[in-house]
Structure 1
């Protein structure tokens, strides 16, 4: 029988605790206090069903470990067979999971499983399209903290399934000095000096700049590991790369689209971060078909 662990994208980690928490919360939301009263009223307890989860469009699959965990939580008697794993590119009509066993459990888990797979596959598919536009360059596509509240770990995992990379997960795992921090701190240098005085040796420091003058100021301090180039046009990004000469890692951000990503990659920046990967990904069309 398929297990959640056998379906993970091999280059991304997602804690089993994150899966269990997300699945339990989603099932509690959908089943409420009394459970699936429609199925209990219309389907005999002994009835069995055979169902196939089908991708109705082409794209990149993500979220299958959550779907499996949902059905297993609802009934240990369900048999589940996977025909794909997370990170796989699938064509429209591809069968990704087969679920057989107690019909009530299949019906109770249907929508929650499809919600996770549809949402996460949408993120993975959009990310893969961004990555496709950067082929042959060193650029890495990253997500941001613009994620659905409560689903950040899952959505960032889906970005990895699509070939992207993760930015920081939260406010506690790296320092990112934004324009508002600089304004309150009194300037670029005092903000960087205070950051360096506060952190341990394993914590990276990134700072956002809006102009080449600010970039020069950051480079003069020698205190930043990464510089975020915010809303710069192609010519300015190119000049920033030439000015930096590899002294710091450069990340472009702001108004990143599929139409502009190839030109940004050609400038030579190291990373691009885009909130669109998670906040604007369309849902992936996936269905659960039950044999009559």
Structure 2
């Protein structure tokens, strides 16, 4: 997934600390320190797997002697009941880390599954499905990685890596054209400038200002098609605003280049995934 490990490890450590606190009362009271177990992770519904690398990091962060083996690739489609990973090591460590590991895995796999659904729907069109900044606070790097594993693409990572002049920016400045000019004078020539447009008049103004990307925000499909024809290749065209699985094909048919879908990250259901111990050895006894 090419995740920045220090950043991900920080989130994993925070999640473990949040869950474990001063100690796992149940496990510490029940499980002998020398007990070793094997476990499997399996999916309980069809979907796309994302986050196995994160799961491995969760277990190894708690106990670096735990052995983890993925049974499928990241981004793989899986059927209900399929085994996706095997884990072995100290029983106490497996039990203590399992919920944090599953929380990450279920969330990321749910996002990847939703993204794959959208990507499949528009597979016949030359258009990209992309995410937005509508992510869970603190989990953006993981949720955006899940989008990529589901076949989608990432929009900007944050406010720092791209310019997007939105309606509230325009409400605070003299005009759309003035906003583009002012930004262009303050950012590097390597940075693309995106402008949000809700009307054909704003599209025309964005074209006169030579915006690099024009976002058609909450436009009806027929109006969006007119806007695409008006732009006529002079800027990258992005469609955004309330797009769902029942409307995304009609949006793709308008000829836009990019379709951004906030629902990929803010409304995806977590995939149902379980972890089960399948064998234990405590002083030579197997259960």
Q: TM-score, normalised by structure 1?
A: 0.94
How many matched pairs?
A: 279
Cα distance in 1 between the residues matched to 2:242 and 2:209:
28
Cα distance in 1 between the residues matched to 2:83 and 2:250:
37
Q: CA deviation at 1:94?
A: 1.1
After superposition, where does 1:192-231 map in structure 2 within 5 Å?
192-222=180-210, 224-231=211-218
Counterpart for residue 283 of structure 2: none
Counterpart for residue 114 of structure 1: 102
The correspondence for 2:73, drawn from 46, 69, 85, is 85
Cα distance in 2 between the residues matched to 1:75 and 1:230:
48
After superposition, where does 1:85-104 map in structure 2 within 5 Å?
85-104=73-92
Counterpart for residue 246 of structure 1: 233
Cα distance in 2 between the residues matched to 1:253 and 1:14:
27
The correspondence for 1:271, drawn from 234, 258, 282, is 258
Q: CA deviation at 1:22?
A: 1.4
After superposition, where does 1:55-70 map in structure 2 within 5 Å?
55-70=43-58
Counterpart for residue 19 of structure 2: 30
Query: What SS does the corresponding residue of 1:172 show, helix, strand or coil?
Result: coil
1:18 maps to 2:12 = no
Q: CA deviation at 1:170?
A: 0.7
CA RMSD, aligned part only? 0.9
Higher deviation after alignment, 179-188 or 151-160 = 179-188
Q: Deviations over 1:79-122 (max 9, x none)?
A: 21110121111111111111111100000111000000000000
Q: TM-score, normalised by structure 2?
A: 0.95
Cα distance in 2 between the residues matched to 1:169 and 1:73:
26
Cα distance in 2 between the residues matched to 1:221 and 1:159:
32
Cα distance in 2 between the residues matched to 1:85 and 1:249:
33
Higher deviation after alignment, 72-81 or 142-151 = 72-81
Cα distance in 2 between the residues matched to 1:65 and 1:80:
10
Cα distance in 2 between the residues matched to 1:54 and 1:70:
17
Please say if residues 177 and 208 of structure 2, whose CA atoms lie closer than 8 Å, have aligned partners that are also in contact: no
Q: CA deviation at 1:49?
A: 0.9
Q: Deviations over 1:196-239 (max 9, x none)?
A: 011001111000010001101111222x1100100111111111
Q: CA deviation at 1:289?
A: 1.0
Query: What SS does the corresponding residue of 2:85 show, helix, strand or coil?
Result: strand
Cα distance in 1 between the residues matched to 2:168 and 2:122:
31
Runs of 4+ in 1 over 4 A off after TM superposition: none
Higher deviation after alignment, 204-213 or 78-87 = 78-87
1:284 maps to 2:285 = no
The correspondence for 1:123, drawn from 111, 123, 127, is 111
Q: CA deviation at 1:279?
A: 0.5
1:143 maps to 2:136 = no
Q: Give the gaps of 5 or more residues in structure 1.
A: 1-7
Counterpart for residue 134 of structure 1: 122
